[in-house]
Amino acid sequence: MKKTIFFILVIGLAIPGLVKAQSGYTSFQYVMGFGVGDLGEFISKASFRGATFDYQKEFSPKASMGLELGWSTFYEKMEYGTYVVEPYSLSGIQYRYSNMFPMLATAEYYPVSDAALKPYINLGIGTMYTIRNTDMGTWTLEEKAWQFALKPEIGLIYDLGGGADLKLEAKYYTGIKTSKLETQSFFAISTGLVFFIY
């Protein structure tokens, strides 16, 4: 997992050098997640381990399209408990993990494009890969699913000067239910740096 997040960020570092002089930006965000629905029931604790990489190519001063790659991991150690599915009972401490990897095509709109504080709205569509583990004793139950995913987002980009801006985001990820996993949703708040590409 360490390799995954490292990989995401290293790709982000490489892309600016590969892209020719085009208007757009890359950004790296630290993400905090709050599970809701099935994810929130599985893990009630917030996630403070997450990151996203965004790339946006501007098509006009007010609109851009791009790509978002992310990773958030949710974790909770449960109290010792007994889980019953008649006629079976299993007692122990459960360690629950859910790793979410959104991979989205995104479109961004800037109502005010020439201010130091630039608000925006962003819509993402794509897929979210989820790896959910329930560890108990020396055993693990692993569930994996690719889900069709949507992500509405609002945020602010603040001009720090010197080629790097600060970005604040509030977004909601939803991976639609599949035969392997219920709908997985979480709110996310993230912040990070934006690097413009000219």
Partner 1 sequence: MRRITIYGMLLALALSVGSCYPGGIEYYEDTDIVFTSYEPDYDFTTANTYSMPDSVVKITGDDEQEFVDEPYNTQIINRIASNMETLGWTRVDDPEEADLTLFPASWTNTTIYYWYDYWCWYYPYYCGWGWYYPGYVSSFTTGTLVMTLVEDENAIEPYRVWTGALNGLLSGSYNANRVTKAIDQAFEQSPYLAN
Q: What tokens appear for 37 in the block? A: 């629905």
- 158 belongs to the binding site for partner 1 (CB under 8 A): no
- 89 belongs to the binding site for partner 1 (CB under 8 A): yes
Smaller CB separation from partner 1, 97 or 101:
97
Smaller CB separation from partner 1, 22 or 89:
89
CB 39, min distance to partner 1, A: 15
- 138 belongs to the binding site for partner 1 (CB under 8 A): yes
CB atoms within 10 A of CB 58: 19
Q: Which of residues 15-44 bind partner 1 (CB under 8 A)?
A: 28, 30
φ, ψ dihedrals at 7, nearest 5°:
-60, -45
- 162 belongs to the binding site for partner 1 (CB under 8 A): yes
Cβ–Cβ under 8 Å, residues 158 and 117: yes
Cβ–Cβ under 8 Å, residues 167 and 189: no
Cβ–Cβ under 8 Å, residues 133 and 141: yes
Binder among 19, 41, 93, 112 for partner 1 (CB under 8 A): 93
Cβ–Cβ under 8 Å, residues 186 and 35: yes
111: preceding bond cis by omega (within 30 degrees) = no
Interacting stretch for partner 1, rule CB under 8 A, among 55-63, 106-114, 141-149, 160-168?
160-168
- 82 belongs to the binding site for partner 1 (CB under 8 A): yes
φ, ψ dihedrals at 54, nearest 5°:
-120, 145
Smaller CB separation from partner 1, 59 or 83:
83
Binder among 15, 103, 123, 136 for partner 1 (CB under 8 A): 136
- 77 belongs to the binding site for partner 1 (CB under 8 A): yes
Q: Is the dihedral of CA 137, 141, 142, 147 positive or negative?
A: negative
DSSP E strand stretches across the chain: 24-36, 49-60, 63-77, 81-85, 88-92, 94-109, 117-136, 139-159, 164-175, 184-197
String of contacts with partner 1 for each residue 45-64, x by CB under 8 A: ----xxx-------------
Cβ–Cβ under 8 Å, residues 72 and 186: yes
Residues that bind partner 1 (CB under 8 A): 1-3, 5-6, 9-10, 12-13, 28, 30, 49-51, 73, 75, 77, 82, 84, 86-93, 95, 97, 135-139, 162-164, 193, 195
